[in-house]
Every structure is written in structure tokens, then in C-alpha cells.
Amino acid sequence: MHCLVVDDDAEIRTSLTTYLQGFGWQVSAAADGQVMRQLLAQARPDVIVLDLMLPGEDGLALLRWLGTQADAPPVLMLTARGDTMSRVVGLELGADDYLAKPFEPRELVARLQALVRRSNKGASVQDDTRLLRFGRWRFDRLTRQLISPDEVGVALSSAEFRLLAAFVQRPGRVLSRDQLIELTRAPGVEVNDRSIDLAVSRLRAKLGDTAREPSVIRTVRGEGYLFDAEVAPC
């Protein structure tokens, strides 16, 4: 696995390189956008760690440039702030994930692995559309909330968000609990059968679905769950 680190702080570059190499990765490091472009021309890394605050061309400008490149690797953005605004800004501009400084090194590794795994599996890591529509509901994937038919924002927990994000990408398909566990795995939390069932019942409650006659998330006995709604971007 090959990771490219772009950060203007020399010591962060070197220790991050050492740390990631400890996992048997190949790591290259760039201090600014110019070096980053040179390195990208030489070899395509599997993933890029990009600092938001860079002298000269900043992280957002580089992110935009990467967006114009064909077959650009997934990007994890290092931001200064860990709040929702940063996430919205970072993800909206095309980062695939983000982490606030100072981060837990283990978490960085877990996120990078997840990014690479997802990008190897299928086409795009992050679907560009922020708002999806199913039935009379809308799903805002940046602010992580549902918008009800009468325009009320209904917040989702992380578990519900991961579950719904997995469902809307596979509408009309039966997903087993094991598949859902795999799809909703996140660093730092344990996902199991029980947590999947809990998240499903919470989601149903928020969607106004009853367990007896669910119309959106159906239970397929002995097999798993099925997201029974047409999903369209809006």
C-alpha cells in the first residue's frame, strides 16, 4: 500500500512517514503542492493525506485540482477543526474523509485502510450527491439528517447514518446482517447483529415506519433487510 503525505510541517511529515512505514506501507511525503504534483507524476499512491493549511496553494485548492484529474486517489483531509462545518466544507469540496488535528494515529490508519478498501472495491469512494430522495423523504448525507415530508430535520445517529448510507446505495436488494455489519463498520465502534437491529428499529421509528408493517425497511425473514424505496438524487 502506498500513501502520499502532504503537510508543510517537517516533523509531522517525518514521524507520520515512520509511523505509517511501521505498518509495512510505502510512504512518500511532500511539503507543498508543487512537490505533490511531481510525486503524483511518478507514481499513483493508493491514498493521499492532505493538510488543509498549506503555504502557497492550500489544501482546498489542491483538492480541487485533484478533482479534475482522471483516476485520482482518495483523499483524507487533515483539518484544523473537528466540527461539522469542517466536515461539510471538506466533504463538499471532494475530500473522501477528514480528520481533525491532532488526531489519534491509530484512527488515521484505520480511516486510510477503510478508504483504500472502499476505493478498491468499487468505483467512487464518495458519491457526489449530497441530497437523496426516497419516497417523500430526503436524506442529507453531509449534515447527516433526514428531512421529513413536512420539512422537519430529523437527526441521525452515526450508526443510523452508516446504515441508511449503506441502504440507499443498494435499494431493492436484500442485505444480510453480516453484509450490513461489513458495510457499516467504523473505526472505534463495535458493530454486531444487535447493534444492526437496534439501528434498524431506530431508523424505522424516525421514518414513521412500524415494525409490524414496515414500508421502507422491510424484514426478509431468515435473510436480512431490504430497503424498499426508489432512491434518486435531488
Partner 1 sequence: MLKRLKSWDGLGLRLFLLMWAALALSHLAAWSLVLQAMHGPSAARPGPPPLHAEGGFGPGAPSHDGFDSAGPPPMRTSAAGPSGGGGPGAAMPRHMPTFPSLPPSLPLTSSLIDYGVRLVVIALAAWWGSRWLAGPVRRLVSAARELTPALAQGRPAPTLSEDDGTREVREAASVFNRMAAELSGQFEERGLMIAAISHDLRTPLTRMRLRLETGEVEAKVRERCIEDLREMNRLVESVIEVFRPAEVAEPQRVDLSALAQSAVDDLAETGANVSFAGPPAVVRADPVALRRVVDNLVGNALRYAGNARVRVELSAGVTRLVVEDDGPGIPEAELERVRQPFRRVEGSRNRDTGGTGLGLYIAQQLVRRQGAALVLSNRSEGGLRAEVVF
| Positions that interact with partner 1 (CB under 8 A) | 9, 11-12, 15-16, 18-19, 22, 80-85, 101-105, 143, 145, 148, 151-160, 188-189, 195, 202, 206
- Tell me the closest approach of the beta carbon of residue 173 to partner 1, in angstroms: 26
- Which CB, 153 or 233, lies closer to partner 1? 153
- Which CB, 119 or 143, lies closer to partner 1? 143
- Tell me the closest approach of the beta carbon of residue 106 to partner 1, in angstroms: 8
How far apart, in whole angstroms, are the C-alpha atoms of residue 65 and residue 43?
17
- Tell me the closest approach of the beta carbon of residue 54 to partner 1, in angstroms: 12
- Tell me the closest approach of the beta carbon of residue 94 to partner 1, in angstroms: 21
Q: Given the C-alpha cell 516533523, which residue does it identify?
A: 11
Q: Confirm if 24 and 57 have CB atoms less than 8 A apart.
A: no
Q: Which three cell numbers stand for residue 155?
A: 437527526
Relative to beta strand 97-100, strand 75-79 is: parallel
- Which CB, 143 or 219, lies closer to partner 1? 143
Q: Which three cell numbers stand for residue 126?
A: 464518495
**Residue 132: strand pairing partners:** 139, 233
- Tell me the closest approach of the beta carbon of residue 69 to partner 1, in angstroms: 28
Strands (E), 84-229: 97-100, 131-134, 137-140, 145-147, 153-155, 174-175, 217-220, 224-227
Q: Confirm if 173 and 226 have CB atoms less than 8 A apart.
A: yes
